Amino acid sequence: MGKYFKYAIGEIILVVIGILIALQINNWNEHRNQQNILNNIYATIKVDLEEDIRSINKVITTNEDLEKIYWGIINKKIEKEDFKNCEDCWQINMSYSDFKLHRNGIDLLLDYNKNHDTSKDSLAIKLKNLYNDLGHNIEVSIAELKEEIGNYNTSIINNAPWFTDVVNGKYSEEFVEYAFTNVRYRNTATIVHFFTYEKYLPSLKSYKEKSLELIDAINDYLETK
């Protein structure tokens, strides 16, 4: 009887050990699966950031060229003949360089957070701060530009007979005279310049700088996981 009892106990212990090993393997597999999902999310965010940086570079280049024209209008330093021969001068007050953040990866991360805690993951925290802080600043700047330029365009569409010609690259004498004498044109240029060069572009440059740091951080993270 004692021998059978010892045998039964041994069998039970073996079964328990087997169950514990199976649970451990299952937990390890689940952790591995979740880690793979998180790695894929970070890889997607990296692609998004790289796309954002390329778009930001284009916006910065375009607007750096236009800034000289804005300063010429605001400070009355541009000559009429130079203005007439300026291919990009029609853009003053009438257009802005739009930019939209790629959010595929961060949206996946936010969705992942609904069921998994990443509050102690320093990389996840930095990425969410990037979009919540610097990303938000960009969106605010774009909204300001869109409103100011939209209001201006609405007014001239309804009142300026030269509008269609100007957006098609034809500078009539009426438009040139308007650009050099109209108070609202110069005042609007001042406001648009402020929104663009004091708020929008600095926000883009800060976002780009932080994105480059986070791309390196993502690369380091993926190499160790």
Q: Average of pLDDT values for 149-175?
A: 89
Determine the pLDDT at residue 59: 96
CB atoms within 10 A of CB 177: 12
Name the more confident of 65 and 70: 70
Nearest 5°: phi and psi at 164?
-60, -40
Measuring CA to CA, which residue among 171, 224, 207 is closest to residue 56? 207
Q: How far apart are the first and last CA of the chain?
A: 53
Q: How confident is the model at residue 84 (pLDDT cuts 50, 70, 90)?
A: confident
CB atoms within 10 A of CB 70: 21
Which tens digit of pLDDT belongs to each residue from 173-195?
A: 999 999 999 999 999 999 999 99
| Contact yes or no for 101/52 (Cβ under 8 A) | yes
Q: How confident is the model at residue 132 (pLDDT cuts 50, 70, 90)?
A: very high
Q: Write the single-letter amino acid at 5.
A: F
Provide DSSP, 146-211.
Answer: HHHHHHHHHHHHHH-TTHHHHHTT---HHHHHHHHH-HHHHHHHHHHHIIIIIIIHHHHHHHHHHH
Q: How confident is the model at residue 116 (pLDDT cuts 50, 70, 90)?
A: confident
Long-range CB contact pairs, 112-116, < 8 A, 24+? 112/37, 112/38, 112/41, 116/34, 116/38
Q: How confident is the model at residue 11 (pLDDT cuts 50, 70, 90)?
A: low
Predicted TM-score (pTM) of this structure: 0.84
